[in-house]
Structure 1
Amino acid sequence: MDAVQPELIEVDGRQVARRLYVDEIRYTPKACVLVVQVENDQLINVEGTADTEIYNESGHLIGSLGQLVIELAHLEKVTRYFNFEAHHHPERDALKAFEVGVDIHQLGYRLKHLETGALHLVVRLLITGSFEYKQHELNLAFAKIGERTYASTESPLLDTPGVWVGTSNPTAKQAKLSWRSIGKPKVALQPVEEARFPGLMDLDWPRHPKDQPSSESGDASRLFDPLQPDSANEPNDHDR
């Protein structure tokens, strides 16, 4: 069986390439203050720890505050929000920390008073932690295998060497950019546990007008069109 060799795409003797920019953010929650509603609807701040127990309104233990914060931090809507805020921050390369307040009163989570056993509604979480932003420039070179066109380049992610591959579907007007590691990950990925706080998925999270899927902001299928000139010299919102 003969192996199929990629054929580089050239225009006027020059290899066709496209420049894209990929944002990378890393954030780790470090502390959490719970705003709790007690007698007479008074609100107080409670310094939480990772093993602070969270109950439902019936008094059944759901899980720990550490689990609650981690599940919240890993929601896609939260990641997208942080990425947008960091991307448009005037000093994004110098960001070192984050703080965010999240209203969760509608979920009915409770803290139990250690002495009285009374359950008190958790109204809000105030979370702080470490934060880091990076932007990677990708110079994707175009090639063909048979009749299929794709673009690829090598660039790290999370300090791990890897390969980026871009493909497009002109019929569906969709483009896909994927990454695969080519070495041992330098950042250990924690196994995903079963969600203990599924109600977090229903939380409303701020959505910015510019934070739209690519299909809503233009013809994504042209993103990896090798015959479309790359006129952008600087990063812009469509490059990310």
Structure 2
Amino acid sequence: MSKKVALVTGANRGIGLEICRQLIARDIHVVMACRNLEKVQKAQSKLAAQLPNALAKTSLVQLDMTCDEDFQTLEKTWCQEGIDILVNNAGISRAVTDTVVTESEENARLTLETNFWGAWRLSRMCIDAMKAKGYGRIVNISSGHGTYAKLDRYNPGYRISKLALNGLTKMFDDEVKDYEDILVNAMTPGWVRTHLGGLRAERSVEEGAETAVWLCMTNDKQIRGKLYKDRGVFPW
């Protein structure tokens, strides 16, 4: 069997970069996607300093989640060739202290387009090749803040985007229910020390990425259509 290929969005830093590192260490070829090509080149160099052959095991693509041209280029190249593992990690949070009444429509729309619409679009682009192979993994990086148990009025664009991403996970799981080796799941990394989470966060990026990588690599066909944290099912 040829080496598996993973596409990771938001790959230039934080959890996305750590997911790339852990996948490369497992001999997965990683397509690192980021809206700024210079930033993802620097991230690739960082990985090359940590892992042997990281340059040979990575490819770089420019992907702005709001840019049609970037999506079209990606679809004609990597998606047509076949992505085995898709990690929808790219995400933004722009209105932490705003409420459902005060957040601007501009902020909310951009957040939804990045966190939700981009993930939907990529999943649709990759799913046909996965079906043709009879193999695939889609891992959506969600958040506990997008679960019904934790919904409140703050940061609505972000919370709604993750709530919608959870729903998308269930719908794609149903789309591939007849394919036992195509597994679609979501995970919440918890509060992680990243640019998004801040320095006071309680978890390292290694801890935040671990469950996502587990979902990428699992061969347990029962692990499907659920939200996970620390390898355990987390309530929607």
The answer to whether TM tops 0.5 is no
**Greater relative CO, 1 or 2 (CA 8 Å, sep 6+):** 1
Q: Between Structure 1 and Structure 2, whose CA radius of gyration is higher?
A: 1
TM-score in terms of structure 2 length: 0.22
Q: From the two aligned structures, give the one with the greater helix fraction.
A: 2
Q: Which has the higher strand share?
A: 1
TM-score (norm 1): 0.22
